[in-house]
Amino acid sequence: MRAFHQWLGVLTFLTAGLLDAAPLAVAAPPATDRPNVVLIFCDDLGYGDLGCFGAKTIRTPHLDRLARQGMRFTDFYAAQPVCSASRAALLTGCYPNRVGITGALDHRAKHGLDPTEETIADLLRARGYATGMVGKWHLGHLPPFLPTRQGFDRWYGLPYSNDMWPYHPEAKAGTYPPLPLYDGDRIVDAEVSPADQDRLTTDYTRRAVAFIEENRHRPFFLYVAHSMPHVPLHVSSARRGASKAGLYGDVVAEIDQSVGEIMQALDRFGLDRQTLLLFTSDNGPWLSYGPHAGSAGPLREGKGTTWEGGIRVPMIARWPDRVPRGTVCREPAMTIDILPTLTRLTGASLPVRPIDGLDISPLLFAMPGASSPHRALWFYYHQNDLEAVRSGPWKLILPHSYATVNPQAPPARDGRPTKYASAKADLELYHLVDDVGETRNVAASHQQVVARLQLLAEEARADLGDTLTQRAPTRARPAGVATVIP
């Protein structure tokens, strides 16, 4: 059988250093070789927004319980600090520039994730899984690119972000058409209203629980891509004001409640022990929204930058009896690793085309001595700018410009953002274990490390290109382009 079954035999203690918690004995694995997978993906949730990641004002009891029952990853990354690119990486196991997706696609996009790319849903469906999605798609809103053409049997949700919407306070009149809500290939609400947005998280949760119930007798993959806490913030009337942490706190508390309901459903149907539940976020907090943004905790900057606050995200994994309880993994990993890890755990095939992610199940199972399978993680942004490289504890910042909140501008208020200013990053080196906030550039005193990471950057340029140094990609694949526009 697969190698991970062998590992389970020796999984009776945990390595020091990798994990914080005391060693725990691990019971015999349940008799399933096709565990269910529930993947919950938040939008713009910050690294510091959950109790179990240090939040002080926002309470997240269900997510904290999830972390106590499973593993918390402290050094987990989204592939890029923006919605569409981040989602492309999650679902394909590739750097998003590998599959031609950059930035955030809006209603004018004629392109999307090429349907011939194999998503987690495609691969698990081929392995006999029921595949369902609720929530925000954002990988192309035209019919050839929708979730039901990308491996999902079912989908209920929005085609792109909830701010690409005529009612968003920042939207100039006429910028956006009405925002549609889909059920499968059908638009079931042609004009999402503010009241509809208030109900989104509740709606998604109800659909997620119904999917679990409906498919409880067969293996399933459920992808819950919350539209929240991306602005404009909306929450059900029952929860408005309930968190005592402002509207943003109410919205995160509602997501926490949603996770609790999904956990409860798994428990009710006796599926806990055969279900791997993953929770993470697509990028860091959108800081220009001030009180309507989350917190990056101790990290520098937020969404739209490759400083840690933009790309490092909270990540929790729970699989009772498999993922040791109450553990913490400090090894670097990325959303691109979820696909190859799931194919390993479920016996599904890897995609035919090359991917970038690597199997992190040894980390999940806290195998003795398990470490990050990556020599380096590369951080691209914008069109194809290679802005940073991480290897082990080190992060090399490559010279680039980035947007930072302008302290001189009037502050964000009532869901309207403040302004950004442009700032410049030089060639800078940070030791993330000693300096998670990227405050002390130690490039001058560690020139050999700088040289080594520059070589790693060069590897990425030779493969995926780099607009900052005018390098063309050699092995990137194009996005899909719709030939017939409806």
Return the number of the residue (226 or 344) whose C-beta is nearest Mg ion: 226
* Candidate ranges 79-87, 314-322, 344-352, 457-465; the one touching Mg ion (CB under 5 A): 79-87
Contacts of 437 (CB under 8 A, 6+ apart): 298, 299, 300, 308
Which strands make up the sheet holding 385-391, listed edge to edge? 377-381, 385-391, 394-397, 428-431
C-alpha span between 36 and 14 (Å, rounded): 25
Q: Which of 97, 283, 335, 346 binds Mg ion (CB under 5 A)?
A: 283
Q: Give the 3-state secondary structure of residue 444.
A: coil
Return the number of the residue (103 or 326) whose C-beta is nearest Mg ion: 103
CA 268 from centroid of its chain's CA atoms: 27
* Candidate ranges 70-78, 131-139, 240-248, 275-283; the one touching Mg ion (CB under 5 A): 275-283
52 is a catalytic site residue: no
83, 111, 234, 329: the active-site residue: 83
Contact of 90 with 283, CB cutoff 8 Å: no
C-alpha span between 465 and 486 (Å, rounded): 34
Q: Which of 38, 83, 164, 405 binds Mg ion (CB under 5 A)?
A: 83
425-458 burial, b at 16+ Cβ within 10 Å, e below that, comes to beebbbbbeebbebeebebeebeebbebbeebbe
C-alpha span between 336 and 468 (Å, rounded): 23
DSSP assignment letter at 53: G
Cis peptide before 320 (omega within 30 of 0): no
Closest CB to Mg ion belongs to which residue? 83
Query: Environment class of residue 474 by beta-carbon count within 10 Å: exposed (0-12), middle (13-18) or buried (19+)?
Result: exposed
45 touches Mg ion by CB under 5 A: no
Could you tell me the smallest distance in angstroms from the CB atom of residue 334 to Mg ion?
Answer: 16
Could you tell me the smallest distance in angstroms from the CB atom of residue 470 to Mg ion?
Answer: 29
Helix (H) or strand (E) holding 400: strand 400-405
**Sites for Mg ion among residues 102-131 (CB under 5 A):** none
62, 94, 111, 138: the active-site residue: 138
Could you tell me the smallest distance in angstroms from the CB atom of residue 40 to Mg ion?
Answer: 14
- How many residues touch Mg ion under the rule CB under 5 A: the total is 5
305 touches Mg ion by CB under 5 A: no
366 touches Mg ion by CB under 5 A: no
Contact of 124 with 143, CB cutoff 8 Å: no
Return the number of the residue (293 or 398) whose C-beta is nearest Mg ion: 293
C-alpha torsion sign, points 78, 84, 90, 92: negative
C-alpha torsion sign, points 434, 440, 445, 448: positive
466 touches Mg ion by CB under 5 A: no
* Candidate ranges 58-66, 209-217, 276-284, 464-472; the one touching Mg ion (CB under 5 A): 276-284
335 touches Mg ion by CB under 5 A: no
Could you tell me the smallest distance in angstroms from the CB atom of residue 364 to Mg ion?
Answer: 25
329 is a catalytic site residue: no
Could you tell me the smallest distance in angstroms from the CB atom of residue 22 to Mg ion?
Answer: 36
Q: Which of 11, 43, 345, 359 binds Mg ion (CB under 5 A)?
A: 43
Q: Which of 282, 301, 438, 466 binds Mg ion (CB under 5 A)?
A: 282
Return the number of the residue (266 or 299) whose C-beta is nearest Mg ion: 299
C-alpha span between 138 and 154 (Å, rounded): 16
163 touches Mg ion by CB under 5 A: no
C-alpha span between 333 and 4 (Å, rounded): 19
Could you tell me the smallest distance in angstroms from the CB atom of residue 196 to Mg ion?
Answer: 20
Could you tell me the smallest distance in angstroms from the CB atom of residue 281 to Mg ion?
Answer: 8
44 touches Mg ion by CB under 5 A: yes
Return the number of the residue (250 or 282) whose C-beta is nearest Mg ion: 282
Binding stretches for Mg ion (CB under 5 A): 43-44, 83, 282-283
Catalytic residues: 83, 138
